[in-house]
């Protein structure tokens, strides 16, 4: 690997009451100073992340108080990618599959330590939803910060069954499903409770379907990208669909959920801190899909009544706080 430093300068007149990041953090009662950040992503994610954080820095201090380190593949270097030109320092990493770079937790952590970064920002995709990354960073010598959810929250909300139990426990309205009525305290979901929400074989699937009612969806908890999901309307389709989902995502727990027909896919964006504060920022409509995968996301939501969106936002905040 080789490191190349890229110098960027910004000339502005400072009018901020804070001259340094240390002053800012101290004045607001913070405990951690973050000035050097590893952006463990590329392309649009890296560009938007760097531009947003740099803009905040300049607006807050009157100058660029943050430094950004990026991981660059040979392909991105050859293409003179925009995010590389925005960075203060780059570290060349292997190209091709993301297991060699932006999804490689060990590489990300080693790079952050070697470049003496205070924090890692993963963007989206790649390693951003892997709880191993924040967990490993927290165990480094300098306890490098992870700009994102903690490992526990990421783990429990990343699992479709755990997240559904947590949602019900936090008072979030949910569709009838194979785990309806199950509750947990905090993020403590026992194996026994988890298994009660699953359908482990064809017989238990048929019994659960009789309680939920058709039409319904068969889902693999570890599925995604259009895999491990089937719509069924009767017992015969359930038998076939259950076998297909089981084969598509081997070893994954499976659950059933009532089909929401004539519906829209609406989401709420949430930001939170480790002090227990959480706020809903925006909502977005992700209804334009192909093969159960989102194609276009539009925001804010305008198709639903404002009071419904506000209820969704409040529910999202409750769920966020419940998992810390």
Bridge-partner residues for 188, per DSSP? 185
Interior angle at CA 226, CA 223 and CA 230, nearest 5: 80
54: closest CA among 71, 68, 70? 68
112 CB neighbour count, 10 Å cutoff: 27
pLDDT at 220: 95
pLDDT digits (tens, 9 = 90+) for 230-274: 999 999 999 999 999 999 999 999 999 999 988 999 999 999 988
| pTM across the whole model | 0.80
Give the whole-angstrom CA distance, residue 62 versus residue 15: 6
pLDDT digits (tens, 9 = 90+) for 11-65: 444 456 788 899 999 998 888 999 999 999 999 999 999 999 999 999 999 999 9
Give the whole-angstrom CA distance, residue 256 versus residue 212: 8
Give the whole-angstrom CA distance, residue 42 versus residue 71: 7
pLDDT at 15: 54
pLDDT digits (tens, 9 = 90+) for 166-188: 999 999 999 999 999 999 988 88
Interior angle at CA 156, CA 150 and CA 157, nearest 5: 85
Give the whole-angstrom CA distance, residue 92 versus residue 111: 10
Mean pLDDT for the stretch of residues 72-79:
93
Listed in sequence order, the residues at least 6 apart from 114 whose beta carbon sits closer than 8 Å to its beta carbon are 91
Give the whole-angstrom CA distance, residue 82 versus residue 152: 34
62 CB neighbour count, 10 Å cutoff: 16
């Amino acid at each position: 690997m080789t490191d190349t430093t890229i110098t960027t300068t910004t000339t502005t007149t400072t009018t901020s009451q804070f001259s340094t990041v240390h002053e800012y953090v101290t004045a607001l009662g913070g405990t951690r100073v973050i000035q050097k950040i590893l952006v463990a992503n590329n392309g649009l994610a890296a560009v938007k992340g760097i531009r947003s954080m740099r803009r905040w820095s300049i607006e807050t201090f009157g100058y660029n108080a943050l430094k950004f380190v990026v991981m660059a593949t040979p392909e991105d270097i050859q293409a003179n990618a925009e995010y590389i030109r925005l960075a203060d320092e780059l570290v060349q990493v292997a190209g091709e599959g993301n297991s060699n770079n932006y999804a490689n937790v060990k590489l990300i952590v080693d790079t952050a330590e070697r470049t003496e970064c205070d924090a890692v920002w993963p963007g989206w995709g790649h390693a951003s939803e892997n709880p191993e990354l924040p967990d490993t960073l927290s165990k480094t010598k300098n306890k490098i910060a992870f700009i994102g959810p903690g490992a526990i929250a990421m783990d429990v909300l990343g699992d479709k069954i755990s997240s559904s139990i947590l949602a019900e426990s936090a008072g979030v309205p949910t569709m009838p499903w194979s785990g309806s009525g199950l509750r947990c305290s905090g993020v403590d979901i026992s194996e026994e409770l988890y298994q009660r929400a699953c359908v482990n074989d064809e017989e238990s699937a048929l019994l659960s379907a009789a309680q939920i009612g058709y039409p319904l969806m068969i889902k693999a908890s570890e599925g995604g990208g259009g895999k491990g999901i089937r719509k069924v309307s009767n017992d015969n389709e359930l038998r076939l669909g259950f076998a297909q989902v089981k084969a598509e995502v081997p070893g994954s727990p499976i659950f059933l959920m009532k089909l929401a027909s004539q519906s829209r896919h609406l989401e709420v964006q949430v930001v939170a801190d480790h002090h227990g504060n959480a706020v809903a920022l925006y909502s977005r409509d992700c209804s334009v899909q192909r093969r159960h995968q989102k194609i276009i996301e539009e925001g804010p939501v305008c198709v639903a009544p404002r009071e419904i969106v506000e209820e969704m936002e409040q529910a999202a905040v409750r769920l966020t706080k419940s998992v810390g």
